[in-house]
Amino acid sequence: MRIVAFRSGGEHRFGLCRGDEVREIAGEAGRSTAALFAALAAGEPPTAGEARPLSAVELLMPVPNPGKVICIGLNYVDHAKEGGNPIPDYPAVFLRVNSSLVGPDQPILRPAASDKLDYEAELAIIIGSTARAVSEDAALAHVGAYSCFNDGSLRDYQRKSAQWTMGKNFDATGAFGPWMVTPEELPPGAAPLRITTTLNGQVLQDGNTGNMIFSVAKTVAILSEVMTLEPGDVIITGTPAGVGYPRKPPIFMRPGDVCEVEVEGIGVLRSPIADAPGAAA
């Protein structure tokens, strides 16, 4: 099932997307992330309204206001190696704030402070039911859906300290979308799926989610040992090799570029790149 979030009557709504049509989901499940996943878990397909063209709706982030956005770094061996990092035996975890996020087809903004804006194709996990100290075997039952993410990173700020938070949280640098796909549409744990980044028509990343060091199930289990995962929380699972900063010369995203992240079976997240207000040309 493909579920979109869009704006209707000045408020966000969820809709079922089939082909090029969207049908608004009626009732509380059409407005609340928790209610939507509760209905799906109960085997109650959401009641859908009148069809409208997908091209006629303004798509929002699949989860318009996530409670937590938890990111995993260095989760592919080839990406860890290209940056000269050791292979982790425990995930590197950092958080993103909501002001750093943008939806599909909305511009990723290069800030005034830096021109080293890098791309990172990532699989996003959307939690569907509360998970606390769950086992790896039970973890996938708490996944409500999957989506695409571009973890836009300001590399110089990322390396100003041992913590990556500053380089990962500039306003409007993390793109999320274009929709969420429920687990029955994909292989268990959303692996193996091809994952790519295309910048201005050139494929720069070409990996597979089956190569993650920490699988979806293991990631959910590890995180739930520390914090309660709640419906609508988002986990960003790391990127494969091919990012811009280790290339010779480096490749960074610039205003006028178009970056597309694609995850097989989910879709294409398209992001134009623009300067933030006040940024240098």
Which domains does the chain possess?
A: 2-56 (no CATH), 69-275 (3.90.850.10)
Taking 80 as the threshold, does the pLDDT of residue 112 lie above it?
Answer: yes
Average pLDDT estimate for 86-92: 91
Own/partner pairs, 184-189, CB within 8 angstroms, 24+ separation: 184/1, 185/1, 185/2, 185/265, 186/146, 186/265, 186/266, 188/140, 189/140, 189/215, 189/216, 189/217
- Higher-confidence residue: 84 or 57? 57
Q: What is the pLDDT of residue 223?
A: 98
Q: With bands split at pLDDT 50, 70 and 90, how would you rate the model's confidence at 124?
A: very high
Q: What sign results for the dihedral spanned by CA atoms 53, 147, 64, 101?
A: negative
Q: Give the residue among 14, 95, 99 at the shortest CA–CA distance from 57.
A: 14
Whether the per-residue pLDDT at 48 is higher than 80: the answer is no
pLDDT single digits (tens) 242-255: 999 999 999 999 99
Cα 117 from Cα 252, distance rounded (Å): 5
The pLDDT confidence band at residue 118, using thresholds 50, 70 and 90, is very high
On average, the pLDDT of the chain sits at 95
Question: Which pLDDT score is estimated for 11?
Answer: 86
User: What is the pLDDT averaged over residues 54-79?
Assistant: 94
Q: Over 90: is that where the pLDDT of 80 sits?
A: no
pLDDT at residue 152, rounded to an integer = 98
Kindly tell me if the per-residue pLDDT of 1 is higher than 60.
yes
pTM: 0.96
Q: Is the pLDDT of residue 219 over 60?
A: yes
**pLDDT at position 78:** 83
Q: Please give the Cα distance from 167 to 193 (Å, whole number).
A: 28
For the ranges 20-29, 46-55, 166-175, 193-202, the lowest mean pLDDT is seen at 46-55
Q: Residue holding tokens 């990406």?
A: 79
Per-residue pLDDT at 281: 57
pLDDT at 31 over 80: yes
Residue 47 has pLDDT above 90, yes or no: no
Q: What is the pLDDT of residue 222?
A: 98
